[in-house]
Amino acid sequence: MKSNWRKAVLIYPKFDTPNTFWSYETSLRLYSPCSEFGLPKRLLPPLGLLGLYRYLKPYYDAVVLIDRNVDPRALTDQLQCGDHVYLGGMAAQGEGLLADAIVAKQRGCLVIAGGTAISKQSPLNGIADHLIENEAEGVIGALLAGLTDGCAKPYYQGFPAEPADFFKPDYSALNLDNYVHMAIQISRGCPEKCEFCDIPARFGKSFRVTPLKDTEASFKQLADLGWTGPIFIVDDNFIGNPRRALETLKNLYAIGESIGVHLPKYTELTLRIADPTPIMAELRDWFRKTNFTTSFYGVETPNKAALEETDKRQNLRGDLSIAEKLKFISEQTGAGVLMGMIFGFDNDSDETVDEFIAFINETHVPIVMVGLLNALPETKLMERLLKEGRFIQSSSCNNSDGVINFIPMNFSIQQAEKNYLRILRGIYAPAAYFKRVREHLRLFSTDYANKGRGRWENTMTVVKILTGQYGRLFWQQLPLAHHIARQRYGFNVAGYGQLMAEFFSLCGQYSHFITQTENLAVQLEQRHYQLWQQYSWKEMLSSPIAGVELKKQDDQSEILDQITVELASGYKMTGTRVDVLRSFSGFYLESLIKTTNAQASLSLVDAVEMEISALAQAAGHRPEILGSSGLGPVEKPLRELFAAEPSYLQQTRRVIKKVQAKTCAN
């Protein structure tokens, strides 16, 4: 297996924006001890590269892993004697990936890049020698064989790997003291069908579980290396297959018993965990037993019509409201809740902002990641927005940058971003945040101690929190937290101490969230908006057409001519005549669905008839798109086009469901 290669250098690039919601950079910089090189610690290690590190060791004399987020040393020095450089990262590291690839090429290294940032449109094309898109396990062997015999391909399309082939992380590759939490992946894939989510496209809907022996080996290695802090189980949806999830929890309990400690854990899952079924009740019980101290839930929005719109119907199951489900989960598991929320759905409006804020502030959830909706590649949302002409630019994949990458339905881009700031200020106002903290402290279990820090380090952290920038605010909240801890635990030193530690942790995290909010306010003040960015999509479609330019004439049919339509707002829509006309016909189609009471079970023939009627109305109001002859001469080829399009009927049915959801909500 050993080749004649001396050294592989694995690089995890810097994040383009180091201080994001998930980085906790402000809190770590203010309150946590520095990393070995004097920089703030990072929340999590580069798990994907830890697995690649172990896989590559038999092929090279030496393999080194560099996390550029904690290691400030000159990259050129660390590339010495490196035969191959492996870059891995996410879209939020796009600039760092490109910069490090250029440095490596200048040093004469062969560059291989992978990770979720890679696509056929990646700017790394033409710079990196080889690219791997999506999961690498199924193609890494072919790449290495190609490197050996000189016939490696420039682009490898990864595919969902078999669990036995999942990369197995080697945590000895890094100094664990540079990180606050560790990461382990147990399963991949998610069976849900949320319109905005790219997980099913990237990792599949099937639920694939890491073999028990590999999971056990990861926990054992971390224990052997002295790790006692929290572990993020980085699964796409931990309960995607409830039976397998239950088996996993029982295995985790056995692993904890065998290594002598049930390390604190957290993961991502759906609100299905609150379902009133025997399997979910058993899962909730085992979450407590295995020391899941918190977990992240994709709540998205309290707007029922928006949940229907985005196919997040699992949040609407059962008799409990979403807020009641969240409280029930904490009562049953003793765990805290992290909540993911999204604003910017088609059923959102300026009027729903206050409802959004009020919903969050009525829960017991202190930490809420709110992001503006963004369309990601390979998602149904991206597909729909492209067809509607609303998509603007690629997403930064930074949930907290306050940027929306399409034109919202009911408010402008400018207003969407102002609404976002209004939401953050509404939920991270001191009174609102600490009210949620107090509700959280009344439910949070202290059954297991988090031994992630020594007593001296904990003491110094508390001192920094109480004497820092927000110290006065935290002192004001301290008596209320003390009262709750005494009510719950009396003079039980362990329980009282652990609950107060949770309070101080949430104080420390608040520093990060409020700093993020105020930084965003400054950024928004400096943003300049073009005229078209001050229009909602509804307003855009009622804007006069300033001009139509023929870009490319189609030999077969006029309706397939490529055109660019410029609106009076300055916004330009490019596509075939029929695609542009369909952008304008959407409202007419929704009106027809309402008046005819169309059902999602309609036939293809009925769907085509309805579409033609909507297009005829749009063509009557927008004659510039098809010309003076109108729809009549092209009606026959249009019918043939729609009847031959496999996804057409499904698209129409989605519109019907959207209209029905909006009607029910009203």
CA distance 499 to 458: 14
Residue 42 in 3-state DSSP? strand
Scanning the structure block, which residue is given the tokens 């990060």?
Answer: 512
Cα separation, 239 vs 274, in Å, equals 11
Provide φ and ψ at 8, rounded to 5°. Answer: -110, 130
At 246 the pLDDT is 98
Contact (Cβ atoms closer than 8 angstroms) between residue 563 and residue 622:
no
600-621, pLDDT tens digit by residue? 888 888 888 888 899 889 888 8
The upper half-sphere exposure of residue 287, i.e. CA atoms within 13 Å in the direction of its Cβ, equals: 31
How far apart are the C-alpha atoms of 234 and 236, rounded to whole Å?
7
270-284 residue pLDDT tens = 999 999 999 999 999
Average pLDDT over residues 410-438: 98
CATH of 5-164, one of 3.40.50.10470, 3.30.300.30, 3.40.50.2300, 3.80.30.20: 3.40.50.2300
pLDDT of 654 reads 78
Q: Quote the pLDDT of residue 508.
A: 95
Q: Is the predicted pLDDT of residue 454 greater than 70, yes or no?
A: no
Burial class (CB in 10 A: 0-12, 13-18, 19+), 612: middle
Bridge partners of residue 86, in order along the sequence = 10, 112
CA distances from 640 to 308, 584, 605, 629 (A): 31, 20, 11, 19
Residue 582 corresponds to which tokens in the numbers above?
């369909």
Return the structure tokens found at 406.
């399409």
What would the mean pLDDT of 544-563 be, rounded to a whole number?
91
195 CB contacts (<8 Å, ≥6 apart)?
309, 310, 311, 379, 380, 381, 384
Contact (Cβ atoms closer than 8 angstroms) between residue 414 and residue 304: no
> 34 φ, ψ to 5°?
-70, 165
Instruction: Assign 456 a pLDDT band (cuts: 50, 70, 90).
Output: low
Please name which of 341, 220, 224, 330 lies closest in space to residue 274, comparing C-alpha atoms.
Answer: 330
**Average pLDDT for residues 211-225, to the nearest whole number?**
98
pLDDT reported for residue 451: 52
Query: Out of 59-68, 101-110, 619-628, which region has the weakest mean confidence (pLDDT)?
Result: 619-628
Cβ atoms of 462 and 504 within 8 Å: the answer is yes
Average pLDDT value for residue range 4-12: 94
Spatial contact of 338 and 296, defined as CB atoms under 8 Å apart? yes
User: How many whole angstroms separate alpha carbon 293 and alpha carbon 213?
Assistant: 24
**Where are the chain's structural domains?**
5-164, 174-455, 542-665
- As a 3-state breakdown, the chain gives helix, strand, coil percent values, each rounded to 5, of 50, 15, 35
Q: Where are the alpha helices (DSSP H) in 8-90?
A: 25-31, 47-56, 75-78
Q: What confidence category does residue 130 fall into, taking pLDDT thresholds of 50, 70 and 90?
A: very high
- What are the distances in angstroms from CA 226 to CA 232, 416, 452, 573? 17, 47, 10, 58
3-class DSSP state for residue 391?
strand
DSSP label at residue 634: G
Per-residue pLDDT tens for 348-402?
Answer: 999 999 999 999 999 999 999 999 999 999 899 999 999 899 999 988 888 889 9
Q: What is the predicted pLDDT for the residue at 2?
A: 61
Token pair belonging to 318? 């059962």
Question: What is the arithmetic mean of pLDDT over 241-260?
Answer: 97
Res. 410: pLDDT tops 70: yes
Looking at residue 179, the DSSP 8-state letter turns out to be B
Q: How far apart are CA 38 and CA 33, in angstroms?
A: 9
What pLDDT is recorded for position 448? 57
First to last CA, the chain: 65
User: Is pLDDT above 60 for 297?
Assistant: yes
Give the number of other CB atoms < 10 A from CB of residue 601.
8
| Residue type (1 letter), 8 | A
- Do residues 138 and 111 lie in contact, with contact meaning Cβ atoms separated by under 8 Å? no
363 closest CA partner among 437, 288, 312:
437
Whose CA is closest to 328, among 293, 267, 276, 266? 276
pLDDT tops 70 at residue 646: no
CA nearest to 474, candidates 463, 485, 490: 463
Which region holds residue 108: left if phi is over 0, alpha if psi is between -120 and 50, else beta? left
Residue at 387: amino acid letter: K
* Across 222-237, average pLDDT: 96
Q: CB burial class (10 A; 0-12, 13-18, 19+) of residue 500? A: buried
CA distance 29 to 237: 31
At 450 the pLDDT is 55
The rounded distance, in Å, linking the Cα atoms of 638 and 657 is: 24
477 vs 114, 431, 483, CA distance in Å? 46, 10, 10
Task: Kindly report the backbone phi and psi dihedral angles of residue 211, in degrees, each rounded to the nearest multiple of 5, phi listed first.
Answer: -55, 145
CA–CA gap between residue 66 and residue 61 (Å, rounded):
17
Query: Is the per-residue pLDDT at 260 higher than 90?
Result: yes
* Residue 665 confidence (pLDDT): 61
- In whole angstroms, how far apart are CA 181 and each of 233, 234, 313, 407, 556? 10, 12, 32, 37, 59
For the domain spanning 174-455, the CATH number is 3.80.30.20
pTM (two decimals):
0.92
Average pLDDT, the chain: 92
35-to-40, 42, 230, 465, 562 alpha-carbon distances in Å: 6, 8, 17, 19, 55
Q: What is the DSSP letter of 292?
A: B
Compute CA distances 258 → 217, 254, 255, 263, whole Å: 11, 6, 5, 12
Q: Quick one: DSSP state of residue 41? A: P
Q: How far is CA 196 from CA 298, 302, 307, 348, 378, in A?
A: 12, 16, 11, 15, 9
Helix residue ranges, H only, 372-429 = 380-388, 413-427
| Strand 182-184, strand 110-114: pairing | unpaired
Percent of the chain scoring above 90 in pLDDT = 74
